[in-house]
Amino acid sequence: MIRPNLAWRSVAVLSAAALALTACADDSEDTPTPGGSSAAAAAVGDGTLKIGSLLPQTGSLAILGPPEIAGVNLAISEINAAGGVLGKPVVVSHTDSGDTSTDIATQSVNKLLAEGVDAIVGAASSSVSLSVIDKITGAGVVQFSPANTSDEFTTYADKGLYFRTAPPDQLQGRVLGDLIIQDGNAKVGLLVMQDSYGTGLAKSTRAAVEGAGGQIAAEAVYDPKAADFSAEVDQIKTANPDAIVLIGFDEVSKIIPKLVEAGLTTDKKKWYFVDGNLSNKYTFPAGTLKGAKGTLPGAAAGKDFEEKMKKIDPSLVDFSYGPESYDATNLIALAAELAKSDAPAAIAANLKAASEGGTKCKDFASCLTLIKAGTDFDYDGVSGPVSFNAAGDPSEATIGIYQYGDDNKYTNVDYKSGKI
């Protein structure tokens, strides 16, 4: 018998219009862990907090760029309106992360380090972050990703300078696997992008499906830069699964027509998307995605926050990882205030303290009031509680579940929360 894992804490379902939240440097004995105090390199503060962003303006994950950049800008505008950090306006510099098919991320990081940034928000892609994390943390600068979900970062030798507001894929994989089984699917086909994000999330999903008594009938791993995906779709068709899971980025816009051509439409098979490809920007014929579901890390931020985001960028139709970017930026600023310094090592040493214990507050201004009053505080973010564990990961998180309608737009249907 198939027994789904029902040990999830369901969160109240929001209205259809709810905000969709909506995916090795050498260690040494004197390097800091989150909450530690020693420096990874001689990066020092100058009294002005400088934040760089390394977020996708081009490439296969560019759909996530606008909301993430808007999240950073919204936080910066509120921080500076509240008087800035250490009495000075926060300076922000935006750069493009591109994707792994280019060297844009390295060039951007070089630019940001030359500008003397204290912290870098990004990248969105786990593989892109893995390509630059040594350069960033080796320079003694904080790297704080709003969207990295690869499990690799949990044990990465990051000198205590890497943090993230997005949960590791083990949680999204559990939620996704349970959802697939609860929807009555016994046989599952996985179409998986070949990189650390794709294969990592597939591994967690497989474990959840098989742990509940389901079967992975086929797992087709593909090169996201391939010109054609017919062979992988044929592999899935031959396996004849009940459900098809698309784990990748925007290359799925080329895979979906192949699924339709093969007769594997949503009225015959159940489709599932993930954070890297859940989007309202697809231009397929009406009904192509009807009934398909998807998962995306993040709690419900609410309509008020959505409207704030749209004031920053009126063109937004997706909000994926915007709240996580907002929270990352606020936490960096609050950690600097706690440390009374913009030195990266000092910020890293205070990020855990800013995220747990004390009186709860949800924005920079209210938290700053508590700091100035000498009151212990706990920043509870828009994306969730954001309490860091020793690895710099959120210790608990929420995954949203969404479903597409006939208009190929998705809305929230549920939230599941769990410990990491």
Q: Per-residue pLDDT for the chain (420 aa), expressed as one digit of tens each?
A: 333 444 444 343 333 333 333 343 333 333 344 433 344 445 788 999 999 999 999 999 999 999 999 999 999 999 999 999 999 999 999 999 999 999 999 999 999 999 999 999 999 999 999 999 999 999 999 999 999 999 999 999 999 999 999 999 999 999 999 999 999 999 999 999 999 999 999 999 999 999 999 999 999 999 999 999 999 999 999 999 999 999 999 999 999 999 999 999 999 999 999 999 999 999 999 999 999 999 999 999 899 999 999 999 999 999 999 999 999 999 999 999 999 999 999 999 999 999 999 999 999 999 999 999 999 999 999 999 899 999 999 999 999 999 999 999 999 999 999 888
Q: What is the pLDDT of residue 43?
A: 75
User: ∠346-350-352 over CA atoms, to 5°?
Assistant: 145
Q: What is the largest CA-CA distance in the chain?
A: 65
Q: What is the pLDDT of residue 40?
A: 45
Taking each helix axis as running N to C, give the angle between helix 252-261 and helix 230-239, from 0 to 180 degrees, rounded to the nearest 10: 50
- How many domains, the chain? 2
Answer yes or no: is 353 within a domain: yes
Answer yes or no: is 11 within a domain: no
One domain for residues 274 and 410: yes
One domain for residues 293 and 409: yes
One domain for residues 294 and 310: no
Q: What is the pLDDT of residue 313?
A: 98
One domain for residues 386 and 351: yes
Answer yes or no: is 239 within a domain: yes
Q: 2 near 215, Cβ under 8 Å?
A: no
Q: What is the pLDDT of residue 301?
A: 87
One domain for residues 135 and 179: no
One domain for residues 209 and 328: no
Residue 388 β-bridge partners: 394
Q: Indicate the pTM of the whole model.
A: 0.87
CA gap 202, 115 in Å, rounded = 38
One domain for residues 261 and 407: yes
One domain for residues 75 and 136: yes
One domain for residues 312 and 286: no
Q: 84 near 50, Cβ under 8 Å?
A: no
Q: What is the pLDDT of residue 35?
A: 37
Answer yes or no: is 207 within a domain: yes
Sheet strands (E) in 165-312: 187-193, 215-222, 243-247, 270-273, 293-297
Q: What is the pLDDT of residue 26?
A: 35
User: ∠165-348-139 over CA atoms, to 5°?
Assistant: 105
One domain for residues 259 and 162: no
Domain that holds residue 415: 169-299+398-419
**Going by DSSP bridges, is the β-strand pair 377-379/187-193 parallel, antiparallel, or unpaired?**
unpaired
Answer yes or no: is 99 within a domain: yes
Both structure tokens of 289: 């995605």
Answer yes or no: is 66 within a domain: yes
Answer yes or no: is 265 within a domain: yes
One domain for residues 331 and 272: no
Q: What is the pLDDT of residue 22?
A: 36
CATH number at residue 245: 3.40.50.2300
Q: What is the pLDDT of residue 16?
A: 35
Answer yes or no: is 271 within a domain: yes
Nearest C-alpha neighbor of 312 from the set 74, 56, 62: 74
Both structure tokens of 409: 């737009």
One domain for residues 94 and 131: yes
